[in-house]
Amino acid sequence: MSVWSQVVTPADGQAWVTGTSAGIGRAVALKLADEGWTVWVTARSADKLEALAAERPGKIKPVAADITDAAAMVATVDAITAEGPLALAILNAGAYAPMRAQEFDAATAKSTFDVNLTGTANGLDPVLKHMIARNAGHVALTASVAGYRGLPRASAYSATKAAMIAMAEALAFDLIDLGVRISVINPGFVETEATAVNDFEMPFVMSTDAAAKRIVEGLKKPGFEIAFPRRFALILRTIGLLPNQAYFWVMRKMMGWDRNVD
């Protein structure tokens, strides 16, 4: 059976989801618990994790840690695997700070890189070591449709999500032969604390519960990418095929920007 067709279940082991203090990660953890998984949840806020665990007693296990701390990620995976095999890992933690060129700030960009890209790598390291040793498991990275091409106001964010998509693709070449499935999750706009800062109308925006359902159901299906809403992902992929100048023109029109810098 192809690794792309492998579907892990609660019978295969435990699940781990990062970025679970709020938003998509929190909703995914609850959805997995409702489907019978023992779900370990990680974020920096111990209080929020305890509150999440209280919603599904015995099914959700909190372990507070910062994904930018590589040693903490190793310790977290060690704690999980001491209780049993880790069958499913969803590296979901992320940061979003919209920036236009006039507001570009290296410190903000670095913070986004540290969480979205380095933080993901910190989690991948111990997860892949565990799963490759077992020749089994499913790891998923939460990237974004913003990684297809650079989007307005998302210089740092689009950069990290494009890198995450490429990272997952590059790892897939080896993992295909090692019994480990890797997926990339590319959501569109989802109603979260992060997207609440957007001051423009978000097309095809979804609730966190709807997004969690798409993710959990998508992980059960063959394939590499889970992208939603499908129409929005298709629109962005199609626009992304345009030559550069045409792409910039179309995206500026979509944002309602005129030719002058505002």
User: Which residues are catalytic, by number?
Assistant: 157
Give dist(CA 3, CA 124) in Å, integer: 18
* Residue 161: Cβ-neighbour burial (10 angstroms; 0-12, 13-18, 19+): buried
Query: DSSP label at 201?
Result: P
CA separation, residue 223 to residues 5, 7, 108, 119, 226 (Å): 7, 11, 34, 25, 8
Cα 105 from chain centroid (whole Å):
24
User: Which are the contacts of 41, defined by CB distance < 8 A and separation ≥ 6?
Assistant: 16, 17, 18, 20, 25, 26, 29, 49, 52, 53, 60, 61, 62, 63
User: Locate tokens 């410190």: which residue?
Assistant: 107
Contacts of 168 (CB under 8 A, 6+ apart): 141, 143, 182, 183, 184, 224
